[in-house]
Amino acid sequence: MSFVERPTLSQDEATGEHVWRRWLADEGCQERCVQEWIPPCARLVIVAPHPDDEILACGGLISAHAAQGGRVLSVAVTDGEDSHGESSPFNREELAEIRRSEQVLGLRRLGLSDPEVLALALRDGCVRPQSDVLLDRLMSLLQPGDVVVSTWENDGHPDHDTTGYMVNLASAATGCRFLAAPVWMWHWATPADVRVPWRRLRGMSLTPEDVSRKQAGLAAHQSQLVSRNFSLGAALDDAIVKRAAWPTEYYFV
């Protein structure tokens, strides 16, 4: 695996949401409606490195596909049990259970009455050493004709990067269409950043209902939206929450 070099930025150095939206509008990124991304008869498979990544990556797409009667499978690569660090008020097992419950609730709020979630339970923060296991599971799971969404392989978090890379490999090998969603990229990159393949970026227009459901789905992840302990703030800061309210989702195709 080969990944681009990225700077380490503190939250207050991240590129602002208003900067991104103005630049994307000026660039005239192509936008498509849900039917152009996935037909109602296709299965949408989301491979989320951690619970909440399915919302951040493609909550609007999930909502729109559910509204057109499509099947959705969410694959949870890890349970996100290490999100609170060493001084967590929860042990790893407790936090894993909390995050699994939040994930199901978030998917229900996107319009899935009985969410189909497959938990792979790989160790949070250690997906790269387990990449062969992940690839094997994906190869047995994916079916030709699936539309598969995961994080971009240079997103900026090791679990996101490895998951995206392996999902790309598995999708190509099984005849699936793969959409790579930037999640943390919006934090470390800047407009026109040469490390980002902007020519491959496409947008999906969301309805106001999709945006509302996406925000409600993200709000289900309360463990990530409040301060984790006395020294760590929320895992999902204000910039991330604001991005979840954008009327467009973006994917590298």
Please write the tens of the pLDDT for every residue from 129-174. Answer: 999 999 999 999 999 999 999 999 999 999 999 999 999 999 999 9
Distance CA 199, CA 253 (A): 9
Kindly report, residue by residue over 165-200, the tens digit of the pLDDT: 999 999 999 999 999 999 999 999 999 999 999 999
Residue in the structure block whose two tokens are 């790309």? 168
* Of 117, 104, 132, 111, nearest in space to 221 by CA: 104
- Domain 30-252 annotated CATH 3.40.50.10320: yes
Please enumerate in sequence order all residues whose Cβ is within 8 A of that of 36, keeping only pairs 6 or more positions apart, or say none.
none
pLDDT band of 5, cuts 50, 70, 90: low
Task: State how beta strands 201-205 and 248-252 pair.
Answer: antiparallel
Structure tokens at 96: 């894993």
